[in-house]
Structure 1
Amino acid sequence: MSSFDVDTLRGLPHREAAGRLLAGGWNVCGLGDWATVWRSPDGALVARVSPFEPAYGVFVELCRSLEGHPLLPRIEVDAPLAGGGRITVMEFLMPVQRAEAEAVVDRWSAAAPDDPITTVRRKAEQLDAEAARSVPFWGGLDHNPGNVLRNAVGEPKLVDLFYAAGLEIYRVLREDPARLAEAIPAERRRYICDIAALARMSDPDELAALRAAADSIG
């Protein structure tokens, strides 16, 4: 399954999208808080599949608005999934040494105007300010060493520069589900209890309580 085939997953439920990736020879290579990451058979691409995705579109917007920037990954496909999920296909990236990652992060606030990272920072700050006004439970910018990776030829890339306030989302879901329903429409939270962090860290009682709260607001 190539990158143009992945675009046919647009609008599918996240489980069906993941199943088609698996059938196409893609393999899981990463697990984050929100998403599962699948690597293509030829190793050139990864597909990030999230069942509930309130914030990642802002990072995609950053990459597309600065397309070709040397510090941002190449996005091949980005499409909504049913119920508020998202699939994003981009170039495969690998970890870097901690010292190299910290050096890139140090440039974020101290770089000269002509440093390429300055362009990313300015655009990211603009998008962050806009999202803070429009995205429910927006978290903000997240430029830490863990968000620095490298491509196949060793060039550093910045990833996941924004985040949603996940702890707050799920606290509100437990304690005041009506407030969450008002903030996030039903069609964008159908699979709110399916994110990777809940599957990985919630005990059975916690997961049952969250699912009951989600069911109570439809």
Structure 2
Amino acid sequence: MPPVYHRGMTGEALASLGTDADHRDVERALLADGWAWCGTGDWAVALRSPDGEVVARISPFDPTGPYAAALYREAAHTRQVPALFAHRRLAGGGDLQVLEWLRPVGGDEAAAFHRAVAARTPDVAALVDVVRQVHDRACAALPWCGPLDTNPANVMRAADGRLVLVDPYYADGPNLYATAANDPDRVAALIPESERRFMTEIPLAGSGPWLPEDREAMRAALAAADART
């Protein structure tokens, strides 16, 4: 079944892309359709729709993206996750999520929400059950899957005022990328090339900068490991 797009998104912009579209293709298509840059993180960039109601999260490489999308679908009844309008895996291991527009909240409010999740208080119990179930699936399937992310930025506010949990799953980047640098054969054995082709292109806006020569050395090491495999 093709994805259903929110009215704020021109569906043709993505529907015209082939199955081999990667993160660059999606960025170009949306920018040409009037979307605008609105944020950059470690793993993804964000573009906002022309009507301002939705945002596209575009990652060159994100193993946990499908699990975040599963959380948004399976916990939608709680209204404590963002509305997900579309999700698409991209060539090379990238990930596209189209979500309702959200605003940041203060650190104290975000910390209180995270404490409630950790304690499984009654007001978030249904959400926590789904969060844990999906996280268990991610940990079982993915090498280098990290623990639940308690960064305050992962709690945001929807247009109707409700607090939502965003992107609580992540790959253990420091461990994964250290292994890619020091033992690329292990990464090549555990993550197919088709799912990590652009792993050196994540933005690293918070943890960076990433020197171009370091990126190139990692690409070369992984390519050599693939050749050996």
In the alignment of these two chains, the number of paired residues is 216
Indicate if the aligned counterparts of 1:105 and 1:143 stay in contact, CA closer than 8 A.
yes
Distance in 1 separating the partners of 2:129 and 2:42: 26
Distance in 2 separating the partners of 1:19 and 1:172: 32
188-197 or 103-112, larger mean C-alpha shift: 103-112
What whole-Å deviation, never above 9, does each CA across 1:179-215 have from its counterpart, x for those lacking one? Answer: 1011001111111111111895112332221121132
Q: 2:76 is paired with a residue of what secondary structure?
A: coil
Q: Which residue of 2 aligns with 1:99?
A: 108
Q: Which residue of 2 aligns with 1:172?
A: 179
Once the two structures are TM-superposed, the CA of residue 2 in structure 1 deviates from its matched residue by: 1.6
Distance in 2 separating the partners of 1:49 and 1:102: 26
Q: Which residue of 2 aligns with 1:194?
A: 201
Once the two structures are TM-superposed, the CA of residue 161 in structure 1 deviates from its matched residue by: 0.9
Q: Percent identity?
A: 37
29-38 or 138-147, larger mean C-alpha shift: 138-147
Q: 1:34 is paired with a residue of what secondary structure?
A: coil
Q: Which residue of 1 aligns with 2:140?
A: 133
Q: 1:129 is paired with a residue of what secondary structure?
A: helix
Structure 1 unaligned spans of 5+: none
TM-score in terms of structure 2 length: 0.87
CA RMSD after TM alignment: 1.9
Q: Which residue of 2 aligns with 1:37?
A: 46
Distance 1:93 1:162, change over 3 A: same
Once the two structures are TM-superposed, the CA of residue 119 in structure 1 deviates from its matched residue by: 1.1
What whole-Å deviation, never above 9, does each CA across 1:150-191 have from its counterpart, x for those lacking one? Answer: 011221111011111111111111111111011001111111
Once the two structures are TM-superposed, the CA of residue 3 in structure 1 deviates from its matched residue by: 5.3
Query: Is residue 31 of structure 2 the alignment partner of residue 22 of structure 1?
Result: yes
Q: Which residue of 2 aligns with 1:118?
A: 125
Q: Which residue of 2 aligns with 1:73?
A: 82
Distance 1:99 1:25, change over 3 A: same
What letter matches 1:2 in structure 2? M
Distance in 1 separating the partners of 2:120 and 2:184: 43
Structure 2 unaligned spans of 5+: 1-7
Distance in 2 separating the partners of 1:187 and 1:118: 37
Distance in 1 separating the partners of 2:210 and 2:78: 38
Distance in 2 separating the partners of 1:19 and 1:137: 30
Query: Is residue 220 of structure 2 the alignment partner of residue 216 of structure 1?
Result: no
Q: 2:78 is paired with a residue of what secondary structure?
A: coil
Query: Is residue 74 of structure 2 the alignment partner of residue 62 of structure 1?
Result: no
What whole-Å deviation, never above 9, does each CA across 1:14-34 have from its counterpart, x for those lacking one? Answer: 111111111011111111111
Distance in 2 separating the partners of 1:10 and 1:93: 29
TM-score in terms of structure 1 length: 0.91
